[in-house]
Amino acid sequence: MLITHDTRCALDTVVDLVNTAPEEDTTPDGLRDVAALVDFVESHEISDVGVLSEFDLSAVRRIRGRFASVFAAPDARAAANLINELVAGAGTTPRLTDHDGYDWHVHYFAPGASVADHLAADCGMALAFFVVAGEQERLRRCEAPDCRRAFVDLSRNRSRRYCDSRTCGNRLHVAAYRARRKEAAG
């Protein structure tokens, strides 16, 4: 599957957005206030965004939950329905652009769109490309029992199981190794 630069940026953005949600009541919201939303927008180089407000924060949190539902969708049809709702609600207006030193690419959000509609349109379309390509199963949640972070499995053989192999993956492999050693010594 060919993934263009702008699609990859949108995928990274939607994964990071979904992962800002608190996993439990004890973990803080990664979008705790408008300043955190501004940081998110700046770090992901989201263009054409005006001054952000509490209204924007609330709207982005709502679509974050809807994107989380896409990663939890049991099949392509369910994912497609969720993505269609997101994209339609954003009032998409595809247009070619070559801003900020990037080559030609497509923006799906309407000029002057809110940050929530911008994210819903561009990130929704990036996820739509995966469903169209028959790759919806690559939109995953970490399989570590104490982690539910979202990620996109871009491995060649669709075998990635953890959000980060250096943390979640290694931690589980070490635990399994120790359990085998304990059982063998046992």
User: Is residue 64 scored above 70 in pLDDT?
Assistant: yes
Assign 110 a pLDDT band (cuts: 50, 70, 90).
confident
Average pLDDT over residues 38-45: 96
> Please, are residues 41 and 122 in contact by the beta-carbon 8 Å criterion?
no
Assign 76 a pLDDT band (cuts: 50, 70, 90).
very high
Between strands 139-141 and 105-107, the pairing is unpaired
pTM: 0.86
Length of the chain: 186
